């Protein structure tokens, strides 16, 4: 295989072993061969079969997204932006999200749109939490991304008959069958010829999975030596449901099931026992996460839309909670998500110093890699995978450029992402995705959303048209 060298980059965000952190290195080179980094630093003198001029660019590690729903969330765009059930603490999970779902063809378009958005925003590794679909593995393989295939399964479905009470329809056999299908997807991912697919197990939500399914799936993940993730402490409804059933918080219920640990990830982890609106009597959850080394997948955008936020990212970090970042919702723009991590944390803490941009970038790179059990991604270091991003420092949105990471997160975002490599293969060039026809996928998704809007009243307890609960910004479109 040929050696590729990015020569004389203005800035390289390199990994420093001594400090165990990213550092800026000016006027540096990056070389890779056979999909692996062979040199990161100043003055490369080895072989070079292909060279790329790094002048005017920052080379940084590809971002690691630990929580996302590409098969469904892109279709929700412009419908769920301002929507939450007033009788269910403003969550959209229970009344509206089960209605606004893509058909099989729409799911494929959603996947393509999300994968392209992720690549264009510098993501090279993605934990994809979706429901089993026959095209999933092929779409992930074709995307060029490094994808952690994470099929969701559950024992019950939630629904509401009135917009203020959530009910659950339980079926143990359905849960067991769905987990068996998930394991088949996991096996297919691990065997994929690209070498870029790996896996995680995910009983979907703490309130929709039986005790047996949670414990069984955790044991299977331990046996396979893969991570395990579950949505928990994600809503007021769920917190009250778990305390009603078991007399303890969601995090404490997971502790009683013996499924907290270093390979476990709690999706969201917002509604801990000390969250003010819960008014619960214990104060153990944050310490439990730290003591068990259980991680939290933080995805602020989907919650900030509904006036909900973690209390706060910096507090969790200082306590010692292991954190990663994900794009739970549309747009699947990791750089914008990182911006929201900072802004929301500072708002909740009422303190601009609660979290730094360096801490956010670390959570989005080596932090996410750690949660996925990987030490070969999320950093630029010889021996790691050649997953890297070239950011155009001359882009107007990157100017002035006192601190390029901050300019990228808080101003430029994906607009300054020029080139992306995954495993040494170029998947984005001049800001355009090379593996997916983004424009066509977006048109297909638009058509899929129109089909969903037509179908939605049939799924709604009140049989309402979508415009009844998600009216247009102005009249004239109906």
Summarised one tens digit per residue, pLDDT across range 228-263 is 999 999 999 999 999 999 999 999 999 999 999 999
Indicate if the pLDDT at residue 336 is higher than 70: yes
* Whether residue 142 sits in one domain with residue 20: no
* Whether residue 366 sits in one domain with residue 231: yes
> Distance (Å, rounded) from C-alpha 233 to C-alpha 240?
10
* Whether residue 179 sits in one domain with residue 47: no
Tokens representing residue 267 in the block: 């999706």
In a domain? residue 196: yes
Helix, strand, coil abundance in the chain, percent, nearest 5: 35, 25, 40
Q: Are 434 and 399 in contact (CB under 8 A)?
A: no
* Whether residue 392 sits in one domain with residue 361: no
* Whether residue 73 sits in one domain with residue 44: no
In a domain? residue 126: yes
Q: How many domains does the chain have?
A: 2
Burial class (CB in 10 A: 0-12, 13-18, 19+), 230: buried
Query: What is the per-residue pLDDT across 155-200, written as a single tens digit (0 to 9) for each?
Result: 999 999 999 999 999 999 999 999 999 999 999 999 999 999 999 9
Residue 187, CA distances (Å) to 14, 148, 152, 217, 365 in order: 34, 12, 15, 15, 26
In a domain? residue 474: no
Tokens representing residue 46 in the block: 């080895």
> Distance (Å, rounded) from C-alpha 373 to C-alpha 198?
11
In a domain? residue 439: no
Confidence bin at 91 (pLDDT 50/70/90): very high
Helix (H, G, I), strand (E, B) or coil at 422: strand
* Whether residue 108 sits in one domain with residue 68: yes
Indicate if the pLDDT at residue 16 is higher than 80: yes
Beta bridge partners of residue 298, listed in sequence order: 325
- Residue 49's domain comprises 3-61+382-433
Q: What is the CATH number of the domain that holds 219?
A: 3.20.20.140
Contacts of 272 (CB under 8 A, 6+ apart): 233, 249, 251, 278, 285, 286
* Whether residue 102 sits in one domain with residue 45: no
* Whether residue 249 sits in one domain with residue 145: yes
* Whether residue 288 sits in one domain with residue 415: no
* Whether residue 188 sits in one domain with residue 217: yes
* Whether residue 340 sits in one domain with residue 414: no
In a domain? residue 221: yes
Q: What is the CATH number of the domain that holds 405?
A: 2.30.40.10
* Whether residue 265 sits in one domain with residue 320: yes
> Distance (Å, rounded) from C-alpha 284 to C-alpha 402?
42
């Amino acid at each position: 295989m040929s050696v590729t060298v990015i020569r004389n980059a203005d800035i390289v965000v390199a990994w420093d072993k001594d400090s165990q952190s990213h550092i800026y290195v000016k006027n540096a080179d990056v070389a890779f061969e056979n999909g692996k980094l062979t040199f990161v630093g100043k003055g490369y003198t080895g072989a070079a079969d292909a060279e790329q001029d790094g002048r005017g660019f920052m080379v940084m590690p590809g971002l690691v997204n630990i929580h996302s729903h590409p098969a469904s969330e892109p279709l929700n765009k412009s419908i769920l932006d301002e929507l939450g059930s007033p009788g269910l603490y403003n969550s959209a999970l229970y009344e509206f999200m089960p209605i606004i779902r893509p058909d099989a063809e729409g799911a494929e378009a959603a996947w393509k749109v999300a994968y392209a958005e992720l690549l264009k925003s510098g993501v090279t590794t993605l934990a994809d939490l979706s429901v089993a679909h026959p095209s999933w593995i092929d779409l992930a393989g074709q995307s060029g991304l490094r994808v952690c295939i994470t099929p969701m399964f559950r024992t019950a479905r939630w629904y509401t008959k009135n917009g203020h009470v959530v009910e659950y329809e339980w079926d143990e056999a359905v849960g067991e069958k769905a987990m068996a299908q998930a394991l088949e997807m996991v096996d297919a991912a691990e065997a994929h010829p690209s070498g870029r697919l790996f896996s995680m197990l995910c009983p979907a939500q703490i309130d929709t999975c039986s005790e047996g399914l949670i414990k069984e799936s955790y044991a299977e993940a331990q046996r396979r030596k893969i991570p395990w993730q579950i949505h928990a402490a994600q809503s007021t409804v769920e917190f009250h449901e778990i305390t009603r059933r078991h007399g303890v918080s969601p995090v404490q219920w997971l502790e009683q099931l013996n499924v907290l640990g270093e390979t476990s990830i709690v999706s969201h982890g917002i509604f801990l026992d000390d969250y003010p609106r819960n008014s619960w009597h214990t104060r153990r959850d944050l310490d439990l996460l730290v003591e068990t080394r259980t991680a939290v997948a933080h995805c602020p955008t989907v919650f900030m839309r509904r006036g909900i936020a973690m209390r706060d990212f910096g507090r969790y970090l200082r306590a010692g909670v292991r954190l990663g970042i994900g794009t739970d919702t549309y747009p699947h723009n990791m750089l914008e998500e990182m911006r929201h991590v900072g802004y929301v944390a500072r708002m909740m803490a009422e303190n601009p110093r609660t979290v730094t941009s360096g801490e956010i970038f670390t959570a989005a790179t080596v932090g996410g890699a750690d949660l996925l059990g990987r030490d070969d991604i999320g950093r630029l270091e010889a021996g790691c995978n050649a997953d890297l991003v070239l950011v155009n420092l001359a882009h107007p949105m990157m100017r002035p450029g006192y601190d390029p990471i901050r300019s990228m997160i808080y101003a430029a975002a994906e607009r300054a992402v020029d080139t992306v490599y995954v495993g040494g293969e170029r998947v984005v060039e001049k800001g355009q995705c090379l593996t997916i026809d983004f424009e066509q996928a977006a048109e297909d998704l638009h058509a899929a959303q129109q089909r969903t809007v037509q179908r939605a009243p049939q799924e709604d307890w009140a049989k309402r048209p979508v415009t009844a609960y998600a009216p247009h910004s102005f009249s004239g479109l109906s």
